[in-house]
């Protein structure tokens, strides 16, 4: 084989599917604490001032808010109240 200045991404085979890495940068998402997004949000709200509110729905992930009624209903109620007050 001849060497080249550009190299193709290495392939990984898993369960018959071909997976090609999208980026050569290391993934940090799985290594970070699951509380990190919450801490970032809390920090942003603290800096934003008194007119900002962080609304938390216990035990819900961002994916739960797509279509799981026990989590969606409180979020929609909160948004409805916000829009009624500010629009």
48-87 pLDDT per residue, tens: 988 788 999 988 888 888 999 999 999 999 999 989 988 8
Q: What is the pLDDT of residues 11-59, one digit of tens each?
A: 555 555 555 555 555 555 555 566 788 899 999 999 998 878 899 998 8
Counting Cβ atoms within 10 Å, is residue 29 exposed (0-12), middle (13-18) or buried (19+)? exposed
Contact 51, 45 (CB under 8 A): no
Contact 38, 54 (CB under 8 A): no
Coil, helix or strand for 17? strand
| All residues at 6 or more sequence positions from 20 whose CB lies less than 8 Å from its CB, including other chains | 9, 11, 12
CA distance 55 to 65: 13
Q: What is the pTM of this model?
A: 0.52
């Amino acid at each position: 084989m001849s060497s080249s200045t550009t190299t193709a991404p290495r392939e990984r085979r898993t369960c018959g599917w071909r997976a090609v890495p999208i980026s050569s940068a290391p993934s940090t998402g799985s290594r970070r604490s699951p509380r990190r997004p919450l801490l970032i949000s809390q920090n942003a709200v603290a800096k934003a001032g008194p007119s900002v509110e962080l609304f938390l729905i216990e035990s819900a992930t961002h994916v739960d808010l797509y279509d799981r009624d026990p989590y969606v209903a409180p979020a929609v109620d909160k948004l409805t109240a916000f829009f009624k007050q500010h629009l």
